[in-house]
Amino acid sequence: MTAPFAAVDVIIAKRDGRELTAAQIDWVIAAYTRQQVAEEQMSALLMAILLNGMSSAEIAHWTSAMLNSGIRLDLSGLGRPTVDKHSTGGVGDKISLPLAPLVAACGAAVPQLSGRGLGHTGGTLDKMESILGWRATLTPAEMTAQLASVGAVICAASADLAPADRKLYALRDVTGTVESIPMIAASIMSKKIAEGTSSLVLDVKVGSGAFMKRADHAAELARTMVELGAREGVRTSALLTDMSTPLGVAVGNAIEVAESVEVLAGGGPADVVGLTLVLAREMVALAGLDVDPAAVLASGRAMDSWRAMVAAQGGDPDAALPTPRFREFVVADRAGVVSRLDALAVGIASWRLGAGRARREHAVQQAAGILCLAKPGDSVSVGQPLFELHTDTPERFPLALADLADALHIAAQGTVIERPPLVLDVIRGG
């Protein structure tokens, strides 16, 4: 049977700035998923899209084609409203860990399908795997049963959900096309819509430690994704949040789990608690629930949900978390006020220590990472620890220390430091 299109003609159309038709997009996504479009041809098309962009209609068609490449879960029988959160990735961004059980304790079902880290941004699954016995892979039936019984799940996406995105994501990573806003939006939304949630809150990071360094680019991505959600009947809103400074104190895997448990226990860093509550309020509002997440957190019910969620996936919530074999400290060489702490530099240093991976098949060190012991606005004295570095392989220290050499700036005592607000903007559907 003759194919209705030739891949080269689709490439040329986008190379020349023309709008692709729905039929062209449906065909190219289906044919690529079936390995009937060569990797080099799809690479060329992705580069043409990066350079020439896509219209709103093209992005919507592309997202639908990826969504239709696999199954779409039906969570309508759970008996509670469904709502999820997706972050575009940052440094120290462990918010999903306290957020999912908190929103579950508020009365919603939270199907938190998560991924692994690559490069300087951490992965939720890598963090959760620090917990003894915890497993990331669940069948759709297991996931649905856990949502019904516990109200929250953090797990890997099934291979049946948007399989076209799985192939395209890997290809974008090696062809210099990761930054394409249409492709980022379609990738995120095809997976989130496929998981069956009725509502979705997007945490779009902005700053040095984020993929989106500029606020205008982040806002464009947020608006695109909110529009895609509305087209597919998913109530969607987006918060633009600051990622110029790492979130919290802990950057790594096991140490971020420990910090998340602190939040659930009523403590934890103010910025982590604050962002968790802001996102929780947005999620319960979209889910149509009249409840105060701060009161639920203070009651201890979110901790109960966390323990039940971990145990349901084979984890031991009481087990000790991994600790590093080696530690190194960076201390202040002068007194003053911390004026800047660069999220990207800290993320790269943590990756160097073994907390992240350079390739998807690489393993991570669960105990590796960095504690940021001074944040912007803090006063420091000579010799005061600024960073605590953790690793099981001490030969990693020199490169990590080099990354941190210019990560933290100290201004004169008395300098007033104005940090950007945690939430920069909120974008909601009409």
- Active-site amino acid positions: 86, 165, 172, 187, 191
State the amino acid at position 286 in one-letter form: L
Distance between CA atoms of residues 310 and 325, nearest Å = 26
Distance between CA atoms of residues 245 and 138, nearest Å = 34
Separation of CA 255 from chain center:
17
Burial-class residue 378 by CB neighbours within 10 Å (0-12, 13-18, 19+): middle
Distance between CA atoms of residues 92 and 99, nearest Å = 14
Which residues are 85's β-sheet partners?
201
Contact 187/165 with Cβ under 8 angstroms?
yes
Contact 393/401 with Cβ under 8 angstroms?
no
State the amino acid at position 184 in one-letter form: I
Which residues are 336's β-sheet partners?
380
Angle at 272 between CA 326 and CA 390, to 5 degrees: 5
The three-state secondary structure class of 203 is strand
Residue ranges in 361-411 assigned as alpha helix (H): 397-404
Written in H, E and C, the secondary structure of 52-100 is HCCCHHHHHHHHHHHHCCCCCCCCCCCCCCEEEEEECCCCCCCCHHHHH
- DSSP secondary structure string for all residues of 314-368: T--TTSPPP--SEEEEEE-SS-EEEEEE-HHHHHHHHHHTTSS-SSTTS---TT-
Direct distance between the N- and C-terminal alpha carbons of the chain, in angstroms, rounded to an integer: 45
- In sign, the C-alpha dihedral spanning 191, 194, 196, 200 is positive
Q: Are strands 83-87 and 199-206 parallel, antiparallel or unpaired?
A: parallel
Q: Are strands 385-391 and 326-331 parallel, antiparallel or unpaired?
A: antiparallel
The three-state secondary structure class of 285 is helix
The three-state secondary structure class of 179 is coil
